[in-house]
Amino acid sequence: MADTTHSQGVYLAQGAAELVVASGGDVTVESGGDINAESGGSITLASGADLTLAAGATFSVNGAAQKSVVGGIHTTTSDEATANAVAIVSGLTTIAAIHVQVLDATNNVVTVDADVTEAAGTITIADGVTYNTVAGQLIQWSAIGV
């Protein structure tokens, strides 16, 4: 909860056990600066707090570079069935990999030889030799990228 007794954006709480970044305050880590959490230390975001990585920021876990992972379930419309293709906008611009699984109206996997392509973050699932785009199909999709 905010302490309104201080007018400064950044201050040491009484007893100096806590450095507070008040509303409007800021901690800036310039290029070459660092925040280190040693073993047993922690960084916690409460409900309603936000962690944002801008485009070009990197995030790695145990040496593995992380990307955005997005996904969803798309219900095929009658128009898409008529067009024999479904286009799903993933929200990413460069996709590293995609996975698509199509279930029919009774939840049976019917992906078989669906024609799956990706361009600039949009995934297109179209008729294959056996696979047919049908209204009411559920397309479970996931994509990893940036």
Partner 1 sequence: MANTTHAQGVYMQQGAAELVVASGGDITVESGGDINAESGGSITLASGADLTLAAGATFSVNGAAQKSVVGGIHTVTAGEAAAHTLDIVTGLTTLTTFIVMVLDTGNNEITVGADITDTTGTLTVADGGAFAVTENYLVHWFAVGV
Instruction: Show contacts with partner 1 in window 87-106 (CB under 8 A).
Output: 96-100
- The residue among 71 and 78 lying less far from partner 1, judged by its C-beta, is 71
* Separation CA 21–CA 14 (nearest Å): 14
Q: Does residue number 116 form part of the binding site for partner 1 (CB under 8 A)?
A: yes
Instruction: Show contacts with partner 1 in window 29-48 (CB under 8 A).
Output: 29-48
Return the closest-CA partner of residue 24 out of 7, 40, 44: 7
- Taking contact as CB under 8 A, which single stretch among the options 21-29, 72-80, 81-89 is the one that binds partner 1? 21-29
Binding-residue pattern over the window 41 to 80 for partner 1, x denoting contact by CB under 8 A: xxxxxxxxxxxxxxxxxxxxxxxxxxx-x-----------
Q: Does residue number 129 form part of the binding site for partner 1 (CB under 8 A)?
A: yes
Report whether 86 contacts 139 (CB < 8 A).
yes
Residue 94: phi, psi to the nearest 5? -130, 115
Q: Does residue number 119 form part of the binding site for partner 1 (CB under 8 A)?
A: no
* Separation CA 20–CA 1 (nearest Å): 11
Sequence-distant (≥ 6) Cβ neighbours of residue 7 within 8 angstroms: none
- The residue among 38 and 79 lying less far from partner 1, judged by its C-beta, is 38
Q: How many residues bind partner 1 (CB under 8 A)?
A: 71
